[in-house]
Amino acid sequence: MRRILLLAAAAAVGGSLLVTAGATGATKGGEFGDTCAATQSGAPFGAVFERSHTGSPLPLAAPVSGVLTKWTAYMPALFPAEGVPPFTVRLVRVLGSGEVEVTAKAALESMKPGKNEFETRLPIEAGEYLAFGSNEGGAIVCPPPSEEEEERGIHAASGGIEMPLPQPGGKASFAASEVRVPVSGVIEPDVDGDGYGDLTQDGCPQGAEYHGACPVLHFAPGYTVGNGSVQVQVKSSLGARVAVTGVLPGLGTSLGTRKTIAAGKLTTFNLAIPPALGAQLRKLDSHKSLRVPLVARVNRVTGNVSTDRMTVRIPGRHRR
Ligand SMILES: [Ca+2]
């Protein structure tokens, strides 16, 4: 007993290290499917998807759009080691009475007894279902509600798809069934729309062009003020399209330029001094200077993750 308690505590600590508070809520919101443990195989379909089940703790259809990042199959505790073909899930959308379209398909996986968890990365739309099956037929399912459960008003509705199962983009007819389907899935948001789940798969959910870390930008501390321009240098941790801009306080005008820079190399940006700024500088005593705040920003990365800031001082040009 003591051993079991210790293991449970270790699992709780491990779990809390892996998920942040925000991720927990989002992951919970994105769980769907049925966690019933399969007890029977050989349902006369290639794949089955569950549409409803009275009192189901989870929604059966995808509750939100995003990326399917994980799917879990709950196999019988006693399960033959051999002779079971690999299984997978297809995402299906019900088109009308008795027809589905397959929108995506995960990799085929070998099943072991009990809980089987698999990572995946499939775009999913709200309302789609997980259809569980193998390429060789003989779906593994949970039994339909018992007579006694039906008397208590518990019903299940599912759709059975016959062989051969369609590939993504294909359509198939389905037959109504009352079996339950032992698979659940986790959906993560994909705000940048790059097909990587923003919580666990996307190192840069602020920009669709980056899936690892977002680029990190740095201004070199020095800069040069010329007659018609200001030169600054910027370095990026990754190749990136970078814009350097400055807003001139009180002038309502801005300076800026953009270029594509290679990873890890200081690159010069030449910021032309606009006429309005030139005019102001000619009125400003040469022993004074104008402070212009600059910001470097990676194109199409939102927020402040891929930005750096510096202020340049541009001396006045009025000599008495
Ligand atoms: Ca993403």
Give the separation between CA 249 and CA 114, rounded to whole angstroms.
Answer: 65
SS (H, E, C) 222-251: EEEECCCEEEEEEEECCCEEEEEEEEECCC
Average pLDDT of the residues in 6-14: 33
User: How far, in Å, from the CA of 316 to the mean position of ligand 1?
Assistant: 47
Of the candidates 36, 138, 39, 44, the residue with the CA atom closest to the CA atom of residue 84: 138
Phi, psi for 18 (deg, rounded to 5): -85, -30
Average pLDDT of the residues in 136-154: 90
Q: How confident is the model at residue 139 (pLDDT cuts 50, 70, 90)?
A: confident
pLDDT of residue 317: 92
The model's pLDDT over 249-280, given as tens digits with 9 standing for 90+, comes to: 777 668 899 999 999 999 999 999 999 889 99
The larger pLDDT score, comparing residue 92 to residue 15, is at 92
Average pLDDT of the residues in 172-190: 96
Evaluate if residue 4 carries a pLDDT over 80.
no
User: How far, in Å, from the CA of 237 to the mean position of ligand 1?
Assistant: 20
The DSSP symbol for 15 reads H
Please report where in the chains the tokens 């010329």 appear, as a residue. Answer: 226
Average pLDDT of the residues in 294-305: 95
pTM score, two decimals?
0.81
The model's pLDDT over 217-237, given as tens digits with 9 standing for 90+, comes to: 999 999 999 989 999 999 999
Partner residues linked to 110 by β-bridges = none
User: How far, in Å, from the CA of 67 to the mean position of ligand 1?
Assistant: 8
Of the candidates 299, 289, 295, the residue with the CA atom closest to the CA atom of residue 310: 295
How many degrees, rounded to 5, is the angle at CA 61 between CA 56 and CA 66?
A: 130
Evaluate if residue 16 carries a pLDDT over 70.
no
Q: Find how far residue 47's CA is from the centre of its chain.
A: 27
Give the separation between CA 181 and CA 223, rounded to whole angstroms.
Answer: 65
- Give, rounded to a whole angstrom, the gap between the first and last alpha carbons of the chain: 90
pLDDT of residue 97: 83
The model's pLDDT over 246-257, given as tens digits with 9 standing for 90+, comes to: 987 777 668 899
The model's pLDDT over 22-53, given as tens digits with 9 standing for 90+, comes to: 334 344 569 999 999 998 776 789 999 999 99
Q: Specify the 3-state DSSP secondary structure of 52.
A: strand
CB atoms near residue 149 (< 10 Å): 14
Cβ 162 vs Cβ 170: under 8 Å: no
The larger pLDDT score, comparing residue 248 to residue 297, is at 297
Give the separation between CA 310 and CA 220, rounded to whole angstroms.
Answer: 9
pLDDT of residue 319: 84
Q: Find how far residue 99's CA is from the centre of its chain.
A: 29
User: How far, in Å, from the CA of 62 to the mean position of ligand 1?
Assistant: 18
Give the separation between CA 216 and CA 224, rounded to whole angstroms.
Answer: 23
Q: How confident is the model at residue 89 (pLDDT cuts 50, 70, 90)?
A: very high
Of the candidates 132, 108, 129, the residue with the CA atom closest to the CA atom of residue 48: 132
pLDDT of residue 252: 67
User: How far, in Å, from the CA of 59 to the mean position of ligand 1?
Assistant: 23
Q: How confident is the model at residue 1 (pLDDT cuts 50, 70, 90)?
A: very low
User: How far, in Å, from the CA of 35 to the mean position of ligand 1?
Assistant: 27
Evaluate if residue 3 carries a pLDDT over 50.
no
User: How far, in Å, from the CA of 152 to the mean position of ligand 1?
Assistant: 44
User: How far, in Å, from the CA of 275 to the mean position of ligand 1?
Assistant: 42
User: How far, in Å, from the CA of 25 to the mean position of ligand 1?
Assistant: 17
User: How far, in Å, from the CA of 111 to the mean position of ligand 1?
Assistant: 29
Please report where in the chains the tokens 């390429």 appear, as a residue. Answer: 135
pLDDT of residue 56: 94
Average pLDDT of the residues in 82-101: 92
Please report where in the chains the tokens 């993560």 appear, as a residue. Answer: 188
pLDDT of residue 116: 97
- How far, in Å, are 121, 142, 192 from residue 127 at the CA level? 17, 22, 21
Using CB atoms within 10 A of its CB, is residue 180 exposed (0-12), middle (13-18) or buried (19+)? Answer: buried
Q: In this structure, what token pair is assigned to residue 291?
A: 């402070």
User: How far, in Å, from the CA of 170 to the mean position of ligand 1?
Assistant: 26
Evaluate if residue 80 carries a pLDDT over 90.
no
User: How far, in Å, from the CA of 168 to the mean position of ligand 1?
Assistant: 21
CB atoms near residue 163 (< 10 Å): 15
Evaluate if residue 6 carries a pLDDT over 60.
no
CB atoms near residue 11 (< 10 Å): 10
Average pLDDT of the residues in 205-223: 96
Find the DSSP H helices in 43-200: 147-151
